């Protein structure tokens, strides 16, 4: 594991009650942007990854200069890394959105949807891009569910910029990951579906929602 300068923010996800946030070293803006997202995601789903801020994101998860500089969800470490200056770089609403997107992947990975998607991709290689776009659409929808829980009517309307065109999740090395991104309009559309209609509306083509419905906590 690389040496990482980090602040451990989330220690326990075994139950909502047991969650322990150590936010004391965070600046208030970062705390306001990310703490509600962490709380909401873990209130909704069990067994999610911890979140870590880092000043060395470029060294993580086997990324390269085409790997996201904002967020990396490293599945083999089960950690979400955010770059430490994220709120200053993108603003608090987009920082919350970026973290919620990472959680959107995490719930797929932790609760069976990613396995289903991978099986579909490996048996239908000609549909890989289409299937990966479906995965990303569901992630945007999941992010809407999480941010609605986190902020209610004050949730962001959607991402202000394209943050996910580069690889941002998976097993190391991320440099080898396929780069599949929805355009902003499509991201916002699925995000709003999740926000307004809830998790049940997040089934996208061949990517089922039932595995997540079994785990979501209301």
Binding site for Zn ion (CB under 5 A): 139, 164
CB of 44 to Zn ion, least distance (A): 18
Report the alpha-carbon distance of residue 154 to residue 18 in Å, rounded: 27
112 CB contacts (<8 Å, ≥6 apart)? Answer: 211
* C-alpha torsion 20→56→184→89, nearest 10: 90
- With respect to Zn ion, which residue has the nearer C-beta, 21 or 147? 147
The CA-atom distances, in angstroms, between 7 and each of 23, 150, 196 are: 8, 22, 33
Question: SS in 3 state form for 142-179?
Answer: HHHHHHHHHHHHHCCCCCCCCCCCCECEECCCHHHCCC
CB of 166 to Zn ion, least distance (A): 10
Q: In the structure encoding, which two tokens stand for residue 50, read together?
A: 């911890």
Position of minimal CB gap to Zn ion: 164
CB of 82 to Zn ion, least distance (A): 14
**Phi, psi (5° rounding) for residue 81?**
-105, 130
Report the alpha-carbon distance of residue 120 to residue 206 in Å, rounded: 8
- With respect to Zn ion, which residue has the nearer C-beta, 23 or 180? 180
- With respect to Zn ion, which residue has the nearer C-beta, 21 or 99? 99
CB of 117 to Zn ion, least distance (A): 12
- With respect to Zn ion, which residue has the nearer C-beta, 31 or 186? 186
CB of 108 to Zn ion, least distance (A): 10
- With respect to Zn ion, which residue has the nearer C-beta, 8 or 130? 130
């Amino acid at each position: 594991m690389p040496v990482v300068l980090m602040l451990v923010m989330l220690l326990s996800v075994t139950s909502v009650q047991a969650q322990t946030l150590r936010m004391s070293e965070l600046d208030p803006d970062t705390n306001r942007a990310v703490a509600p997202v962490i709380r909401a995601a873990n209130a909704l789903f069990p067994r999610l990854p911890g979140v870590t801020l880092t000043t060395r994101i470029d060294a993580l998860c086997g990324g390269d200069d085409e790997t996201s500089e904002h967020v990396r969800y490293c599945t083999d470490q089960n950690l979400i890394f955010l770059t430490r200056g994220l709120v200053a770089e993108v603003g608090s609403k987009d920082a919350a959105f970026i973290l919620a997107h990472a959680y959107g992947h995490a719930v797929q990975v932790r609760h069976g949807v990613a396995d289903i998607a991978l099986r579909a991709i490996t048996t239908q290689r000609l549909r890989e891009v289409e299937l990966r776009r479906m995965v990303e659409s569901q992630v945007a929808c999941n992010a809407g569910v999480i941010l609605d829980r986190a902020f209610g009517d004050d949730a962001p309307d959607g991402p202000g910029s394209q943050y996910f065109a580069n690889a941002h999740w998976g097993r190391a090395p991320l440099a080898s990951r396929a780069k599949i991104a929805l355009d902003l309009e499509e991201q916002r559309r699925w995000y709003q579906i999740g926000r307004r209609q809830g998790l049940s509306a997040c089934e996208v083509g061949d990517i089922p929602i039932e595995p997540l419905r079994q785990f979501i906590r209301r």
